[in-house]
Amino acid sequence: MTKPDIPYSDGFWWSNDGLRLHFRDYPARPENAHRPPVICIPGLTRNARDFEQVAAKLAGDWRVICVDLRGRGDSAYAKDPMSYVPLTYVQDMEALLQEQKIERFVSIGTSLGGLITMLLASTRPGRVVGALLNDVGPQIEPAGLARIRDYVGQGRSFPTWMHAARALSEVQGAVFPGNSVSDWLDMAKKAMKVGPGGRIVYDYDMKIAEPFAVPGGEAGVDLWPTLAGLAPVPVLIVRGAMSDLFSVDTAQRMLGVLPQGRLLTVANKGHAPSLEEPEVADAIATLLGEVDAMALATQA
């Protein structure tokens, strides 16, 4: 898959503990500047590049901000690895919102990014005006956590991009059985970078695994109450049909809490769908249309 040629600027902000954090900023056209921005928050080992295709489709119609969480991509690594926890990521996001003077936004969160979305919605009701929760809910399945703990923080490196792609296919082939070689290469180039020695390395601080290795470190709080913050707004729940992290039962229970929630199951995908699937792109367009409609109803 070719990299979208969509212009963006690199933005930076400072965390409360002095880390310089990075985001990609895709602008909206002037006539769409009234719309709330779409903020994309990646998963545990991922970064802003995961949302290149999503941003390419939305940019112009919407401002799209794709963040690198601390310890990922072009954001600084934390001095204290125990700060790699959701509650700290929420504080970092709060600092971004304040710096950018963002009062209302749509959140697209994959896995860990979805947990952060739920926490942001619960701490200040009304600011998240729509959300996409990608293959994650308040309850995380132990089998999926065990699989992720097996490979996070290993610090492997590879001589070529093809070697890196092959390594990804060996680890995650069971949850993405339909991936082609080009798919694995695309995934590798989003998740990895060329290191100082010329070898291909994962683009995150290996120390993010330290709090994640502790049971409860993936969230640290009971997240079911946080869904109340999303109850008044449109919510798209995306689930990979083969996900071992996000169960059907959890998804159905979430629908009972979210009156405007909709569930989209992506066939032949595990944790987590890329959001580049055609049916997901259509569902995102529908979600944003609902956000627009609610804004108009509020103004009337």
Tens of pLDDT, residue by residue over 139-166, are 999 888 888 887 787 888 999 999 999 9
Q: Look up the pTM and report it.
A: 0.95
User: Which residues of the chain fall short of a pLDDT of 70?
Assistant: 1-5, 213-221, 299-300
Residue 295: which domain range? 9-141+221-299
pLDDT score at 88: 97
Residue 80 domain flag: yes
Whole-number pLDDT of residue 296: 73
Domain contains 180: no
Interacting residues of 51 by C-beta distance below 8 A, sequence separation 6+: 24, 40, 42, 64, 66, 108, 275
Identify the pLDDT of residue 300: 55
Classify residue 198: in a domain, yes or no: no
Number of domains in the chain: 1
Is 77:70 a contact under the CB 8 Å cutoff? yes
Written as one letter, the residue type at 276 is E
What pLDDT does residue 272 have?
A: 95
- Asked whether residue 135 is domain-assigned, the answer is yes
> What's 17's domain CATH number?
3.40.50.1820
Q: Is the dihedral of CA 22, 63, 7, 277 positive or negative?
A: positive
163 belongs to a structural domain: no
What does the pLDDT read at residue 4?
A: 61
Greatest Cα pair distance, the chain, in angstroms, is 59
What is the C-alpha separation between 144 and 248, in angstroms, rounded? 14
Supply the pLDDT for residue 229: 94
What is the predicted pLDDT for the residue at 221? 67
The neighbour count for residue 87, using CB atoms within 10 Å, is 12
> Is 179 within a domain?
no
Q: Is residue 182 part of a domain?
A: no
pLDDT the model gives residue 150:
78
Residue 156 lies in a domain: no
